[in-house]
């Protein structure tokens, strides 16, 4: 008789304690925040000439960034668009062409 009156509050308290532990996970992932930074590179799926096709690190279209993709170099050399001194396409060489402005294409809605 007596025992049943005692057991109820104890089990209630225990289950409340267990619930308190069942909160949000305390481990937070911070690595995602840096992925969308200033020095971001375009995903391989980006369409050349689109807003997404942009190398944030070198401020040129990613599809034309010889510093990220050295295999693009022969194509620039073939068209004579090459600065041997700075190892860059002449059309991207700000050292030789300080007036040069390479602007990122606007984002399509």
* Residues engaged in binding Zn ion (CB under 5 A): 55, 57-58, 65, 67-68, 83, 85-86, 93, 95-96
DSSP string, 59-86: TB-GGG-TTT-GGGHHHHHHTT--BTTT
Q: Which is nearer to Zn ion, 15 or 39 (CB)?
A: 39
Shortest spacing between CB 66 and Zn ion, in angstroms: 8
Question: With contact defined as beta carbons under 8 Å apart, do 42 and 65 qualify?
Answer: no
Closest distance to Zn ion from the beta carbon of 88 (Å): 6
**Alpha helices, DSSP H, located in 1-109:** 2-21, 31-35, 73-78
Q: Which is nearer to Zn ion, 73 or 83 (CB)?
A: 83
Min dist. Cβ of residue 101 to Zn ion (A): 16
**CB nearer to Zn ion: pick between 51 and 86:** 86
DSSP 87: T
């Amino acid at each position: 008789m007596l025992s049943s009156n005692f057991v109820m509050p104890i089990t209630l308290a225990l289950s409340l304690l267990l619930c308190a532990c069942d909160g949000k996970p305390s481990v937070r992932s911070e690595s995602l925040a840096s992925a969308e930074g200033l020095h971001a590179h375009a995903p391989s799926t980006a369409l050349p000439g689109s807003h997404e096709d942009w190398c944030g690190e070198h401020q040129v279209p990613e599809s034309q960034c010889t510093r990220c993709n050295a295999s693009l170099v022969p194509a620039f050399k073939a068209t004579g668009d090459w600065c041997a001194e700075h190892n860059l396409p002449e059309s991207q060489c700000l050292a030789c062409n300080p007036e040069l402005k390479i602007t990122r294409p606007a984002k399509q809605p």
